[in-house]
Structure 1
């Protein structure tokens, strides 16, 4: 079975590929394309959100015709981003059509200090309607955790 080339949906998605690269893809429904007309050139804006929760335009791309994805390179690690796909009106105002999800780029430096792993309680549901492994008398109800020092010594 072959996947369809289009789903006729309006969607803009961001995905972090690396700490300094964000991939975006989008689709506009047939109705959305028809409402734009022939003279609208799409623009993709990438926003970053600071600690004060104010979004600022970081990059803006005038998209070539028939483009439905874009890579933003050289973004900053440990920052929050979102995007908008839109166009400029005759007076120079930006009209957004789609807004993406928010993504956070990962750090590029190692975590300093000792890393500790927490014990996690496993929950098991079975046909007898008992809620947890503890209630079932399972001795493996908890996963053991190790500190980074334990992991080094176990190697």
Structure 2
């Protein structure tokens, strides 16, 4: 905008332009004064740098030391480990992702339960949503419930577990007793979010042959026995979750032969025409307790006494009446106590029963 260009405008137009430019005293200026003021204002505006031309220097990026980077990596690693330990749905290597929530309890012996579970990722996310802020302090937990005679339950204890596993051994006391187990997340405030509840099992009376043999090292080899001890052959039967879990892992049916259509026998497999054979024998388990360092004999044979004073021994149990003396002598030989067991075995062979497999199959 030049002075010659502005001369073509009227004084009124120039006054409006001066007003828009914010020139002071525009209302009392003559035409030549307005032109001069507008030209000066234009030159002043063109000499100022534009906002686009003004560039701030880039902010200096903080330089992280190697030690700071190491600490940050360590924090990330710990956070990842914490999330994995809390995630009960974390897949166990070699197993597919679970499709439903379930927890089952197996009876291993009078003092140990074996708890197995499967939890879906969706259930873990629901627990995270429900617990809210408490999720950060919540811990995956098993709750051992003792089932009372009236059907109610009493919390025995809470057992903190972690993700990446699908089973846990739980020690119990004072057999026989009935138990069930709940799995979920326990918050520090005492709130417990339950994901699944197990079947109810009853531990056997101590002193059985299983305690003496101490050979239950393979669940697969003893699945039928564990199934029976966990209520599989009781009148109520075992829980469906327990039966499904064992059958999935073993890839075979569990139950009485009549309930699984006699297994291979129904199809005539394994029979060569010879007479069906059955023979049994028995052993008697004698167990008890005395003072530590006591010398104990059963039927005249010395028996090892444990540090707690407990002892157990298997003796042959023939088909007749017999008397079994148990003698305990104090460590100094001054005192002696004797207990006499009188037992009798009476074995009877019942008439055989032949079932019509064709009618069963139908």
TM value normalised by structure 2: 0.30
- Per-residue deviation, 1:24: 0.4
1:94-113 correspondence to structure 2 within 5 Å: 94-109=192-207
**2:215 matched to 1:124?**
no
Aligned to 1:79: 177
Over the aligned positions, Cα root-mean-square deviation in angstroms equals: 3.1
**2:127 matched to 1:29?**
no
Query: Highest CA radius of gyration, 1 or 2?
Result: 2
Aligned to 2:19: none
**How many corresponding residue pairs?**
127
User: Counterparts of 2:196 and 2:159 in 1: how far apart (Å)?
Assistant: 15
- Per-residue deviation, 1:120: 8.3
User: Counterparts of 2:187 and 2:176 in 1: how far apart (Å)?
Assistant: 34
Q: Which ranges in structure 2 are unaligned for 5 or more consecutive residues?
A: 1-93, 129-134, 208-284, 287-340
Q: CA distance change for structure 1 residues 73 and 116 in 2, over 3 Å: closer, same or farther?
A: farther
Select which of 109, 121, 126 maps to 1:18: 109
Aligned to 1:41: 139
Give secondary structure in 2 for the equivalent of 1:42: strand
Q: CA distance change for structure 1 residues 121 and 29 in 2, over 3 Å: closer, same or farther?
A: farther
**Which structure exhibits the higher relative contact order, with contacts defined as CA atoms closer than 8 Å and separated by 6 or more residues?**
1
- Per-residue deviation, 1:46: 0.6
Cα deviations across residues 98-154 of structure 1 (Å, max 9, x unaligned)? 100111111114699767778587461233x49xxxxxxxxxxxxxxxxxxxxxxxx
**2:152 matched to 1:54?**
yes
- Per-residue deviation, 1:27: 1.0
More strand by share: 1
Q: CA distance change for structure 1 residues 74 and 29 in 2, over 3 Å: closer, same or farther?
A: same
Is this contact kept in 1: 2:127–2:193, CA < 8 A?
A: no
TM value normalised by structure 1: 0.65
Is this contact kept in 2: 1:22–1:75, CA < 8 A?
A: no
More helix by share: 2
Cα deviations across residues 71-93 of structure 1 (Å, max 9, x unaligned)? 11143321111000122357532
Give secondary structure in 2 for the equivalent of 1:35: helix
User: Counterparts of 1:85 and 1:47 in 2: how far apart (Å)?
Assistant: 11
- Per-residue deviation, 1:48: 0.9
Q: CA distance change for structure 1 residues 59 and 90 in 2, over 3 Å: closer, same or farther?
A: closer
Q: Which ranges in structure 1 are unaligned for 5 or more consecutive residues?
A: 131-155
Which is worse superposed, 87-96 or 48-57? 87-96
User: Counterparts of 1:75 and 1:8 in 2: how far apart (Å)?
Assistant: 34
**2:105 matched to 1:7?**
no
**2:300 matched to 1:69?**
no
- Per-residue deviation, 1:44: 0.5
Q: CA distance change for structure 1 residues 84 and 121 in 2, over 3 Å: closer, same or farther?
A: farther
User: Counterparts of 2:357 and 2:172 in 1: how far apart (Å)?
Assistant: 49
User: Counterparts of 2:205 and 2:173 in 1: how far apart (Å)?
Assistant: 12
